[in-house]
Amino acid sequence: MISGDIWNWQTNYTVYLVVDIFDLHNLFMSNTAGMEILNNTERKRFETDLGEEFAFLDYEQFENTIALTHTFVPHTFRHQGIAFALVRFALEYARATHLQVIIGCSTVTIFMETHPEYQQLLIK
């Protein structure tokens, strides 16, 4: 189990997160086949067009590192694996471009708990 406090800046209260990490793969990695994810360097985010809205993972890239800072998926598209697909894309980008990763987003943290094959990308 992973548990922790997440401050919700929009509603000004704390949400308590308790997640069974073994169920995450099934919960979050469905319905993403064929999804196109792009690196929008102008906006500094990895994004996918969902029709009228975008889902995205913000980042800051430096010389040898990339900080993954915030994931957003519109409410009507949540729990379909989109956030984790964005994280996987970002990590594959980091691997391909030889960048070390700084985690600044709880979604990335949860993804990393269930995907040890990306641990070597984390900044030490």
pLDDT digits (tens, 9 = 90+) for 67-83: 999 999 999 999 999 99
By the 8 A CB rule, do 41 and 58 touch?
Answer: no
pLDDT greater than 50 at residue 4 = no
Task: Spell 28-42 as b/e; 16+ CB within 10 A means b.
Answer: bbeebeebebebeee
pLDDT greater than 50 at residue 3 = no
Does the domain spanning 29-121 belong to CATH 3.30.70.3400?
no
Question: Which residues have CB under 8 Å from 98's CB, separation 6+?
Answer: 64
pLDDT digits (tens, 9 = 90+) for 27-53: 344 446 678 999 999 999 999 999 999
Q: Kindly report the backbone phi and psi dihedral angles of residue 97, in degrees, each rounded to the nearest multiple of 5, phi listed first.
A: -105, 10
